[in-house]
């Protein structure tokens, strides 16, 4: 990590630091509430003035329709929103969601209740269960999926405005998305910080990994406070960049691709409602998600997905794994061979680094190597 990236980041965090929960939660909620009011008024006026029928951009609500739109050249600002579903084929466990068997494994840690392991206040007093769990769940390999490389292809072709990820597994970075391409809404394991507000020293993934595997509770070498991976715990704020970028990106978005998320965690899920009314939205997922509440729709609170009603005009659901969906879309775009070649080449590179003796550390280094060349533009 360069010093250049550390400095603005520190300032940003100090802004939030004094009263992390109340202060900034309130302000973001206020802002969100304000925006909702504005949306409501906008809908009301556009309805009253007969401006209510939004432009229909796709010629057909199918993957083919989306592909033709991308190929038309009218689509230049694609946003991706991704969740745990894009990493499952990489063998990454869904770290925080119940129902993955994770919480069932927690009994041995004597937690007051299972979620405590990700609760910031509990962590500060009892960090051991979190780090034991991190060791247990640490991925054997950091190998991005077809879906991750599809996003890299969008970037290479100048079409990706940004990827908003709920994942903390750093696979977007390993696939070659750089700091500026990426909003890690729930934080990342890629960096860690000293929890002391006066210190906030940054540590990298290799450092953290070594501590985790040596069963040491990671302590800051400057001030001896705890060091915590930069993932967002319950009771912590989302990164400031999430809110600032969101306001710039979504109004300008001309195609939203949502992959591998059931759109149930706020405020992430609400992002689908922030694109313009004419912006097409493609969901690639094992099941439909994010659908509008019909009652709220009647009241003018649009925003939810509408794949099937007779009013559907822009939302497309492609029900498949994320990898299959991306391959199918790449095929329609004429990019399939290029995508497969990219996956093959990158996986071979990761495998050869794994074999070169450094095993998991090599994968971590591969990830920094693919990100490191230029100083990260964090803010
Ligand atoms: Zn420190």
Report yes or no on 24 lying in a domain.
no
Residues serving a catalytic function are 186
Residues in the 5 Å CB sphere of ion ligand 1: 194, 196, 199, 201, 220, 222-223, 225
- 189 CA distance to ligand 1 centroid (A)? 18
- Beta strand pairing status for 160-165 and 78-82? parallel
Q: Which residues are annotated as a binding site for NAD(+)?
A: 84-88, 94-96, 166-169, 261-262, 285-287, 322
Segments forming the whole domain that contains residue 71: 56-90+145-186+240-353
Residue 48 has pLDDT above 70, yes or no: no
Report yes or no on 294 lying in a domain.
yes
The CATH number for 98's domain is 3.30.1600.10
- Beta strand pairing status for 202-204 and 187-194? antiparallel
Residues 205 and 227 in one domain: yes
Mean pLDDT for 91-106 is 63
Residues 305 and 164 in one domain: yes
pLDDT one-digit tens code per residue, 107-160: 778 888 888 888 999 999 999 999 988 887 787 778 999 999 999 999 999 999
Residues 247 and 108 in one domain: no
Report yes or no on 150 lying in a domain.
yes
Kindly tell me the sign of the dihedral angle through the C-alpha atoms of 318, 88, 77, 301.
positive
Report yes or no on 83 lying in a domain.
yes
Mean pLDDT for 10-22 is 37
Residue whose tokens read 């001896």: 224
Report yes or no on 196 lying in a domain.
yes
Mean pLDDT for 22-34 is 46
- Cβ-based neighbours of 165, under 8 Å, separated by 6 or more: 81, 82, 83, 172, 182, 183, 184, 185, 186
Q: Which of these, 168, 207, 174, lies nearest to 189 by C-alpha position? A: 168
Residues 71 and 100 in one domain: no
- 194 CA distance to ligand 1 centroid (A)? 5
Mapped onto helix, strand or coil, the DSSP state of residue 81 is strand
Residues 276 and 160 in one domain: yes
Cα separation, 73 vs 86, whole angstroms: 26
Residues 66 and 110 in one domain: no
Report yes or no on 368 lying in a domain.
no
pLDDT the model gives residue 325: 98
Residues 220 and 134 in one domain: yes
In which band, very low, low, confident or very high, does the pLDDT at 208 lie, cut at 50, 70 and 90? very high
pLDDT the model gives residue 102: 64
- 135 CA distance to ligand 1 centroid (A)? 22
Residues 263 and 173 in one domain: yes
- 1 CA distance to ligand 1 centroid (A)? 16
- Beta strand pairing status for 187-194 and 182-184? unpaired
- 185 CA distance to ligand 1 centroid (A)? 24
Q: Which residues are annotated as a binding site for Zn(2+)?
A: 194, 199, 220, 223
How many domains are there within the chain? 2
The CATH number for 348's domain is 3.40.50.1220
Report yes or no on 30 lying in a domain.
no
The answer to whether residues 140 and 217 touch, using CB atoms and an 8 Å cutoff, is no
- Compute the residue count for the chain: 379
Question: 190 is written with which tokens?
Answer: 């890629």
Residues 300 and 166 in one domain: yes
Q: Give the global pTM.
A: 0.78
Report yes or no on 6 lying in a domain.
no
Q: Which residues are annotated as a binding site?
A: 84-88, 94-96, 166-169, 194, 199, 220, 223, 261-262, 285-287, 322
Number of C-alpha atoms within 13 angstroms, CB side, residue 205? 25
Mapped onto helix, strand or coil, the DSSP state of residue 76 is coil
pLDDT one-digit tens code per residue, 260-318: 998 988 888 889 999 999 999 999 999 999 987 666 555 555 568 999 988 899 999 99
Residues 341 and 283 in one domain: yes
Q: Write down which residue in 198, 231, 264 finishes a domain.
A: 231
Residues 168 and 213 in one domain: no
Between 271 and 375, the higher pLDDT residue:
271
DSSP letters for 122-163? HHHH--HHHHHHHHHH--S-----HHHHHHHHHHHTT-EEEE
Q: List the single range of 44-53, 63-72, 239-248 with lowest mean pLDDT.
A: 44-53
Cα separation, 191 vs 249, whole angstroms: 24
Task: Identify the top-confidence range among 217-231, 255-269, 359-373.
Answer: 217-231
Number of C-alpha atoms within 13 angstroms, CB side, residue 145? 22
Cα separation, 319 vs 283, whole angstroms: 8
φ, ψ dihedrals at 149, nearest 5°: -75, -25
Residue 101 has pLDDT above 90, yes or no: no
Between 98 and 269, the higher pLDDT residue:
269
Residues 304 and 159 in one domain: yes
Between 253 and 113, the higher pLDDT residue:
253
Question: 352 is written with which tokens?
Answer: 């050869």
């Amino acid at each position: 990590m360069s010093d250049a990236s550390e400095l603005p980041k520190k300032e940003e965090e100090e802004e939030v630091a004094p009263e992390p929960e109340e202060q900034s939660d309130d302000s973001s909620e206020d802002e969100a509430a304000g925006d909702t009011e504005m949306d409501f008024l906008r809908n009301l006026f556009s309805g009253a003035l007969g401006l209510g029928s939004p432009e229909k951009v796709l010629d057909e609500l199918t993957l083919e329709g989306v592909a033709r739109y991308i190929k038309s050249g009218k689509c230049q600002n694609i946003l991706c929103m991704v969740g745990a579903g894009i990493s499952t084929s990489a063998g990454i466990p869904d770290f925080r969601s119940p129902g993955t068997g994770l919480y069932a494994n927690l009994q041995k840690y004597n937690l007051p209740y299972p979620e405590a392991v990700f609760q910031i206040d509990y962590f500060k007093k009892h960090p051991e269960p979190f780090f034991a769990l991190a060791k247990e769940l640490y991925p054997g390999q950091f190998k991005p999926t077809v879906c991750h490389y599809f996003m890299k292809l969008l970037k290479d072709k100048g079409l990706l405005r940004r990827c908003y990820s709920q994942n903390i597994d750093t696979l977007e970075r390993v696939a070659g998305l750089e700091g500026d391409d990426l909003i890690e809404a729930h934080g990342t394991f890629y960096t860690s910080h000293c929890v002391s507000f006066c210190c906030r020293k940054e540590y990298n993934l290799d450092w953290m990994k070594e501590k985790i595997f040596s069963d040491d509770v990671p302590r800051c070498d400057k001030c001896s406070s705890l060091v915590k991976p930069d993932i967002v715990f319950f009771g912590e704020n989302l990164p400031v960049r999430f809110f600032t970028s969101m306001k710039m990106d979504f109004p300008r978005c001309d195609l939203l691709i949502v992959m591998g998320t059931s759109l149930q965690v706020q405020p992430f899920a609400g992002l689908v409602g922030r694109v313009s009314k004419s912006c097409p939205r493609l969901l690639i997922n094992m099941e439909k998600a994010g659908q509008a509440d019909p009652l709220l729709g009647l009241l003018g609170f649009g925003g939810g997905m509408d794949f099937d009603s007779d009013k559907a005009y822009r939302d497309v659901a492609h029900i498949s794994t994320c990898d299959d969906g991306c391959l199918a879309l790449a095929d329609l775009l004429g990019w399939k061979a290029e995508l497969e070649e990219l996956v093959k080449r990158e996986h071979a590179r990761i495998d050869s680094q794994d074999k070169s003796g450094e095993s998991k550390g090599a994968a971590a280094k591969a990830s920094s190597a693919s990100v490191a060349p230029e100083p990260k533009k964090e803010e």
